[in-house]
Amino acid sequence: MKVVIYISLLCSCLLSFSQRNYAYGVVRDSISNDVLIGAHIRNIDAGSLTSTNEYGKFKMPVKVGDTLVFSSVGYQTLAWIADSSWFELDQVEFLLPLKTIYLDEVVVGDFPEYDRFKELIIEAQPEDTTLRIFGVPQVVMDPYPQLEKSEYLNPIYAFFHPISAIHHSVSKKEKEKRKMQHIRKTKFITEKARLNFTREWVSENTKLEGDKLTSFIAYCNFSDAYLATSSQFAIYELMMDLLPKFLEEYEDS
């Protein structure tokens, strides 16, 4: 059984290191069909990078199955997976659409005082609107980057990285790293939640003190996950929505 596994791994390694050939392409605007000069093309499997010339053309070493990411200022970032047809054409055409940003509707109401308004602007954490690249996992700045079980057991990951998938599955060291990652992740969420929802901050915004303040914090019952992933502005709005009902119930008790 071990011999069969070793042979399978060897075959996978040989396939992964197969020869790359040059692919030739041109990058254009998807609407005007104008060529894009200086567009960046990155082969994330080979770790290579190039850009288009004054005619919008480029060449890059590629093999079937490689993922190429295309980006240009003002355009959406997209990716294509190389197939055998690329090597049968003199030039492959890649079309990038313009990056269009739609703003949510804004309802103007009563503005807070200047100092409070300034604090809200500083504390605001805009939603991440980064577009996903088709066929490529989204890149996220993660404070605990160890592979999760669902990631290394993913069939796509196992196909392209068979040795790593087996290593993560059977290695005791990797299992210990994942345990530590879980501990760090829980600690990270808890610490961030505490920073976003301190007793002093709640008191400053609600003007509550003493037992009434303690009761209100318990009444909010915000989870650590919510506090860690939400902006203080969103927490502030929800908290202030709960305040009138709390005061009413508190006075009646």
Specify the pLDDT at position 174: 74
Mean pLDDT of 187-215: 86
Checking if the pLDDT of 145 tops 80, the result is no
Specify the pLDDT at position 225: 84
Specify the pLDDT at position 46: 86
Under 8 Å between Cβ of 21 and 63:
yes
Specify the pLDDT at position 153: 72
Under 8 Å between Cβ of 92 and 25:
yes
Q: Alpha-carbon Rg of the chain, whole angstroms?
A: 26
Specify the residue for token string 């390694």: 13
**Residue 131 class from Cβ within 10 Å (0-12 exposed, 13-18 middle, 19+ buried)?**
exposed
Q: What is the pLDDT of residues 2-17, one digit of tens each?
A: 444 445 544 554 444 4
Q: What is the pLDDT of residues 69-100, one digit of tens each?
A: 999 988 888 999 998 889 888 999 999 998 86
Which residues are registered as beta bridge partners of 93?
26
Percentage of the residues of the chain whose pLDDT score is greater than 90: 23
Q: Flag whether the pTM goes above 0.85.
A: no
Specify the pLDDT at position 23: 92
Mean pLDDT of 45-72: 91
Checking if the pLDDT of 120 tops 80, the result is no
Read off the tokens for 85: 């047809």
One CATH from 3.40.630.180, 3.40.190.10, 2.60.40.10, 3.40.50.720 for 2-96: 2.60.40.10
SS3 245: helix
Q: Which residues of 114-129 are buried (b: 16+ CB within 10 A; e: fewer)?
A: eeeeebeeeeeeeeee
Specify the pLDDT at position 135: 46
Mean pLDDT of 10-31: 73
- Confidence band (pLDDT; 50, 70, 90) for 34? very high
Checking if the pLDDT of 103 tops 60, the result is no
Residues of the chain with CATH 2.60.40.10: 2-96
Strand segments, DSSP code E, in the chain are 21-29, 40-43, 48-51, 57-62, 67-71, 78-81, 92-96
Q: What is the pLDDT of residues 153-172, one digit of tens each?
A: 778 867 777 777 777 677 77
